[in-house]
Amino acid sequence: MTKLDVSSFIGGSWIGPGDGARDIENAVTGHVMARAGNTNIDTQAMLAHARNIGGPALRAMTFHDRARMIKALALHLNEHKQALYDLSFSTGGTQNDHLIDIDGGIGTMFVFASKGRRELPDGHVFLDGDIEMLSKDGKFLCQHICTPLQGVAVHINAFNFPVWGMLEKLAPTLLAGVPAIVKPATATCHVAELAAKLMIESGHLPDGAVQFVAGGLGDTLDHLTCQDVVGFTGSADTAFMLRSAPHILKNSIRFIAEQDSLNASILGPDAVPGTPEFDLFIKEVQREMTAKAGQKCTAIRRILAPQAHVDAVIEALKQRLSKTVIGDPQAEGTRMGALVSNAQKKDVLKKAAILASEAERVFGDPDNFEINGADADAGAFLPPMLFHCADPDGAERIHDTEAFGPVSTIMGYRDLDHAIQTINRGEGSLVASVITHDPQVAREVAIGAGAFHGRLYFNNRDSMKGSTGHGSPMPHMIHGGPGRAGGGEEMGGVRGVMHYMQRTAVQGSPDFISAIGDKWVPGGLEIEGPAHPFTRTFGELQIGETIHTAPREITVEDIEHFAEFTGDTFYAHTDPDAAKRNPFFPDRVAHGYLLLSFAAGLFVEPNEGPVLANTGLDGLAFMKPVVAGDSIKVRLSVKNKTPRNQDYGEVRWHVTLSNQDDELVAEYELLTMVAHNRER
């Protein structure tokens, strides 16, 4: 049988295995099927290529350009995913496991592409939060901005999800504008290589944006600088070894770690046998133990049930687990495939033996189980193994040993406090779940355990249909956890992009802040356009383009008419004596909505033109009441612009209403869709 040569993509060329190459085993047959690694890779040239070619090319693009690139990559991978499925069977996974890895990874790219266009500007600077006023006269401000790091992201991935693991890191990195060097785990790097090849050969990536190292990284990490980031996923031991290297520490090189986790799931005190929650719990636990043969960083390792129901849970789990057909993932009927390698199987058995010192194995005999369509002695097969720990308080190893396979331990709890204390003994996890129909149980767990877990997952009869599963990190949510889980965070939508950017506090005058952020701030330069802004197309409008309207006086008749017309006869608008008794008002006052309507009447240009629709209003505040006899005038300025599609884009206007004494009456941001062309 010919062996696959897994190549690295360095400096724009593919380089095959060479000195120091390692063998890769087919998880199902145990045969060596590929080899990867080459100690002759020029790591300095690789870093230089990313920093000097990839980085500048990515930074020249806007967030929206990069989001479109990520979408194009996702579409390309989606078109070619059958090839990825076919190759992935050699890692021991079933078709359902491939869906998590391959479709999950592509889906993550789509979410980042879409969030990039909706939540990030079509520019080069991300504004983090609002401006902070630093002087009384409004002429000295602060704005936090984020700009891409000018180095390279080195991604070191675990073996279990060769595609998702690569894409969930690549999407936020590329969106930030930072080039990446991807180093997958060697055991499954042939699958990662195919996905990388598809992306690189699609032509959607600028030169130097993504390089790929099959095998070892050599001395790469010794040459990183403060502009580089390491994104690591794997075991706590490897993370510790890499992140504690003097060069990493001395240069404060960012190190994001996702590592071991003793995730737990609690059966709520209310979820007694016979309830939909009990059945749901059994289903979730069984799925987490068997999906990807338990090689999921989020898998449930510790199962907690009310003491009185432990036996019932064991019985129900035994029944469900006994129906799991284990074997060749391509054989008819197989539900759980092999572990990634015989070395991994050995490691799981070693860890299971440690668990056995504190718990009794109540299901799954690794020396005696049926295999569907494969050679039990050659492939890396194991049955699901359930342990019961009768004394979780006295136990130690149950709470610190991760058997990275289909292994979990059940234990009883006395009351909810005890359950919370027990799950927190994992010293930091990626996810803890609670299956309960009682919102108070959820609240207590959130408050008592939130600080120890990166994600809390609550599920019950009402949410189970749409729920995403205990073990599924979603791109919208952060993935990571404190302590043992590595102390890192990934994904979480735009939050994940920020790991690859530098946050900088910028101080200066409104003009400077407006120019840097490409977003007008009050006090910034007001530009007088050649015509009314509502007659100008999306492209013609300039940031800061402003009109000031003539004043309009508010009369008692206006207020009474508005009250009668709308039905808003609230006493402050209709009863002068009652209004005066109110601490906020000097007299009967104009309705806030009347002022907004008059403001629109003052600033609109009525004829058909590029402004298509008013789509909303943000941050409305009424600052000073308006009484009959006062007059109001409006300032309308283009705050910022966001392209939406080929026909139109969103223009956000900053609007202030002030009175005859130039006192601020109201302030808000008006959202409109404005066409690119006048003709339709």
Nearest distance from residue 162's CB to ligand NAP, in Å? 10
Determine the Cα–Cα distance for residues 404 and 491; give it in Å rounded to an integer: 23
Residue closer to ligand NAP by CB (options 284, 489) is 489
**Are 215 and 189 contacting, i.e. CB atoms less than 8 angstroms apart?**
yes
Dump strand ranges (E) for 84-177: 126-133, 141-148, 153-156
Q: How do strand 22-25 and strand 302-306 relate by DSSP bridges?
A: unpaired
Is 258 a catalytic site residue?
Answer: yes
State the minimum distance, in angstroms, from the CB of residue 336 to ligand NAP: 18
Q: Which is catalytic among the residues 168, 193, 258, 489?
A: 258
- Distance, in Å, from the CA atom of 126 to the CA atom of 63, rounded to the nearest integer, reads 9
Minimum distance from CB of 44 to ligand NAP (Å)? 16
Residue 125 phi/psi, 5° resolution?
Answer: -125, 130
CA dist list (Å): 263 to 223, 291, 475, 482: 35, 15, 19, 12
3-state helix, strand, coil in the chain (%, to 5): 35, 25, 40
The residues that touch ligand NAP, with contacts defined as CB under 6 A, are 156-160, 183, 185-187, 217, 233-235, 238, 242, 258-261, 297, 402, 404, 430, 485-486
Nearer to ligand NAP, 115 or 183 (CB): 183
Neighbours of 130 (CB within 10 A): 12
In terms of CB distance, is 297 or 321 closer to ligand NAP?
Answer: 297
Active site residue 297: yes
Distance CA 49, CA 156 (A): 18
CB-based burial of residue 528 (10 Å sphere; 0-12 exposed, 13-18 middle, 19+ buried)?
A: exposed
Rounded least distance, CB 150 to ligand NAP, Å? 23
Structure tokens at 227: 């502009």
The tokens describing 572, both together, are 């402050």
- Our CA dihedral for 35, 37, 38, 39, rounded to 10 degrees, sits at -140
Question: Considering beta carbons, is residue 242 or 267 the nearer one to ligand NAP?
Answer: 242
Q: Tell me which H or E stretch contains 577.
A: helix 576-581
Question: Which CB, 185 or 210, lies closer to ligand NAP?
Answer: 185
Closest to ligand NAP by CB, 19 vs 332, is: 19
**Cα first-last separation, the chain:** 64
156/321 with CB nearer ligand NAP: 156
Least distance from ligand NAP to the Cβ atom of residue 233, Å: 5
Show the DSSP H helices in 120-256 as ranges. 164-176, 189-201, 236-243, 246-250
- CB-based contact 94:335 (threshold 8 Å): yes
Catalytic hit among 146, 189, 297, 389:
297
Going by C-alpha positions, the residue among 131, 269, 447, 478 that lies closest to residue 277 is 269
The residue (of 261 and 324) whose beta carbon lies closer to ligand NAP is 261
The two tokens of residue 600 are 């629109």
Q: By C-beta, is 429 or 659 nearer to ligand NAP?
A: 429
CB of 256 to ligand NAP, least distance (A): 10
User: Measured over all CA atoms, what is the biggest interatomic distance in the chain, rounded to whole angstroms?
Assistant: 96
Give the shortest CB-407-to-ligand NAP separation in angstroms.
12
**Rounded distance between C-alpha atoms, residue 353 and residue 143, angstroms:** 56
Distance of closest approach, residue 477 Cβ to ligand NAP, in angstroms = 13
Q: What is the dihedral of CA 604, 608, 609, 614, to 10 degrees?
A: 50
Compare residues 471 and 625 and give the one whose CB is closer to ligand NAP.
471
> How far is 54 from 66, CA to CA, in rounded Å?
13
* Cross-strand pairs, 180: 153, 210
CB 179 within 8 A of CB 185: no
The C-alpha atoms of residue 120 and residue 122 are separated, in whole angstroms, by 7
CB 155 within 8 A of CB 181: yes
Element (H or E) spanning 350, and its range? helix 342-356
Q: Which is nearer to ligand NAP, 188 or 514 (CB)?
A: 188
Which alpha helices (H) appear in 335-477, and where do they start and end? 342-356, 416-424, 439-449
Residue ranges of E strands in 245-376: 254-258, 264-267, 302-306, 360-363
Shortest Å distance, C-beta 188 to ligand NAP: 9
Minimum Å gap between C-beta 243 and ligand NAP is 11
Query: Distance between CA 456 and CA 437 in Å, rounded?
Result: 15
Closest CA to 39 of 62, 24, 27, 22: 22
Q: Which residues have a catalytic role annotated?
A: 258, 297
